[in-house]
Amino acid sequence: MRKALIILITLLASFGLQAYSNFIDNPFTPYPPGCVTLPDLQTELYGDNVVKIYEQTIALYGFYPEESNEANVAVYRVGCAEPNRSVVWVTFNIPEGMDSFTSYALPWPVAEIDGTTFPVRLIGEANDWGSDFVPGYGAQTFAGEGDASKTWRFVLQNDNPQVPYTLSGQAMTPEQYNGNFNLKLNYAHDLEATIPVPSTASVLLPNEEIPLNGRLSGNWVVEGVPDQGFVISVSEKVGDAYPEYDGLMDTPLVMFLSWYTYDANGDLLWLTGAALFPMGAIEVTIPIELVSNGEFFGSKTAEREVVGAVTISGINCNDLGFDYDLTNLGLGSGNKHLQRLFSLETAGYTCRDLEARILSR
């Protein structure tokens, strides 16, 4: 049994904290999909919109009672692009000079608001369910002998309500997660730390940009420009054509753009393009192709010609920056502001409420 657990947690340790490129795996996530990006890019992308709310030295235990190391635990709120929205990070650091163990058990977290407890867990992949481990026995691992110096980063996530050992009670709502609550970390030997978590609005401002992610897929328009628009999708680029990408962190994302508009003479114009970009990127430049001379429901391949380029940047889930250059088509260059056409709700986070929809005209 112990061998099976170690194999499982070793696999879990191979993934870094990051935003999934698709919409979301866990519909109970209390933070906006696409808010969290790779740890090394988080500060670069969001600047100093990170606040440390707790730091303490604890004993972090391995699978055996005699295995323990002094560890530093810190808790942060990290801002999202949406107003009053953030994620709660928890980090554990084993300083240099400590013995190296095969694995460490994570504390069992519980969120509490006015005496009501909420089942939560620490996960290594944002928007995921996390591993289905028994509380107190899930762990991240590192291998090696001699001195240890290692940091693990986790996001505080709602627990899976379908797992039988979870606490009774409902999942935290986005409003509760972003409000004031107590985070209790239960360690081995009945030790417990109670951490007052301040509200997002009291300590952070919204970020000005977001990483490009699958939540931005959908129909987009330029306000005041009728009868034309864009279909944009963001997904992972995997498969036999890209065998060199072996790990999730190394898997590139691809943005596909289909642009329905008119040429200088007012005739219909269909432009498309696609480009790869790394996880965490806030913008991507896409070569634009003119598609023509196709066949209705036929097997003939349409002709394509590169006629320009566009650069798309993420502002928030409702807004995209859009720079274009179609000089070769006689349409010039410039920049526009793309807005979402239809309301999209993901895990309680609505992109464009019903009253703010742009109606076709």
What is the chain's pLDDT, residue by residue, as a tens digit (361 residues)?
Answer: 333 333 222 222 323 333 433 444 566 778 887 777 655 566 666 667 888 999 998 877 766 667 777 888 999 998 887 778 899 988 888 777 666 665 667 788 889 999 898 888 887 765 554 544 434 334 444 333 444 557 777 889 887 665 544 445 578 888 999 999 999 988 766 678 899 999 999 998 877 778 888 888 889 999 899 999 999 998 876 555 544 544 444 678 899 999 999 999 999 999 999 999 987 788 999 999 999 998 989 999 999 999 999 999 988 888 899 999 999 999 999 999 999 888 777 666 677 644 443 333 3
pTM here? 0.70
SS3 of the chain: CHHHHHHHHHHHHCCCCCCCCCCCCCCCCCCCCCCCCCHHHHHHHHCCCEEEEEEEEEEEECCCCCCEEEEEEEEEEEECCCCCCEEEEEEEEEEEEEECCCECCCCEEEEEECCEEEEEEEECCCCCCCCCCCCCCCCCECCCCCEEEEEEEEEEEECCCCCCCCCCCCCCCHHHHCCCEEEEEECHHHCEEEEEECCHHHHCCCCCCCCCCHHHCEEEEECCCCCCEEEEEEEECCCCCCCCCCCHHHCCEEEEEEEEEECCCCCEEEEEEEEEECCCCCEEEEEEEEEECCCCCCCCCCEEEEEEEEEEEEEECCEEEEEEECHHHCCCEEEEEEEECCCEEECCEEECCHHHCCCCC
